[in-house]
Amino acid sequence: MSKVVIAGDASGTGTFTISAPNGNTDRTLVLPDEAGTVLTSASNIAQQSTQNQVSFACVLSTDQNVSSNTWTKITFDSALLDSNGFFDTTVNKFQPTIAGWYQINLSLSMQGSSIARLITRIYKNGANFRMISYNSGYTSSAAGTGSFLLYMNGSTDYLEGYGYPTATSPKFKSSECEFSGFLVRVD
């Protein structure tokens, strides 16, 4: 049989009490075969709730015809995943209500003729925030993809995906454009 040893801290004066429950049912306390601290429901440990497990992934439902040499907001109107309803497909923007650091991903693919370049950007709060990619030298199709971390304040901050094609008759491809992200850390 294993030994049970209760040892007090030599410098402490507090009392360690083990109380039986007020009932007629026998209870057994089973400790894991691990060294370290045992956590209880009263422990002061920050736990990520399912409410804070934010993630989204949106795509175009149809090809989006756009103008050449013009910044165009991408109409990500179909949510593959939107765990908290923070992506509004009617206005094509991500606006979380949980403050923290987010991993954001944007991938655009376009077709057209005489393609000279495709620039992809994330707009934050309606203004140019970060260039994701700059590609040039294509003929009939082009793609740009990238990701980064950024802080969102959980109230007014929102993000949108934009593209700037230089081509004849450019269009963003529905099956190849995606805007996605997830909460990395709550602040």
Average pLDDT over residues 130-150: 86
Asked whether 142 and 170 are in contact (CB, 8 A), the reply is no
Q: What percent of the chain has pLDDT over 90?
A: 60
Q: Say which residues have a Cβ less than 8 Å from residue 69's Cβ, sequence separation at least 6.
A: 164, 165, 166
Domains and CATH numbers, the chain: 50-186 (2.60.120.40)
Task: At 26, list the tokens.
Answer: 């026998």
Among 94, 102, 101, smallest CA distance to 156 is for 94
Using only C-alpha atoms, the chain has a radius of gyration, in whole angstroms, of: 26
pLDDT in tens, 53-77: 899 999 999 999 999 999 999 999 9
Average pLDDT, the chain: 87
| Residue 49: per-residue pLDDT | 55
Instruction: Tell me: pLDDT of 134 over 90.
Output: no
The pLDDT of residue 133:
86
> Once rounded to an integer, what is the mean pLDDT over residues 41-64?
75
DSSP secondary structure string for all residues of 90-148: TTTEE--SS-EEEEEEEEEEEEEEEEEEEEEEEEETTEEEEEEEEEE--SSEEEEEEEE
pLDDT of residue 52: 62
| Contact call for residues 73 and 162 (beta carbons, < 8 A) | yes
| 86-99 pLDDT, tens digit each | 999 999 999 999 99
Q: What pLDDT, on a 0 to 100 scale, did the predictor assign at position 78?
A: 95
Digit-coded pLDDT (tens) for 22-40: 778 777 777 677 776 666 6
Q: How far apart are CA 86 and CA 55, in angstroms?
A: 9
Q: Rounded CA gap, 96 and 152, in Å?
A: 8
Q: State how far the Cα of 86 lies from the Cα of 75, in Å rounded to an integer.
A: 16
100-112: pLDDT as tens digits: 999 999 999 999 9
- Predicted pLDDT at 1: 61
Scored b (16 or more CB within 10 A) or e, 65-102 reads ebebeeebbbbbbebeebbbebbbeeebbbbbebebeb
Q: What single-letter amino acid sits at 71?
A: W
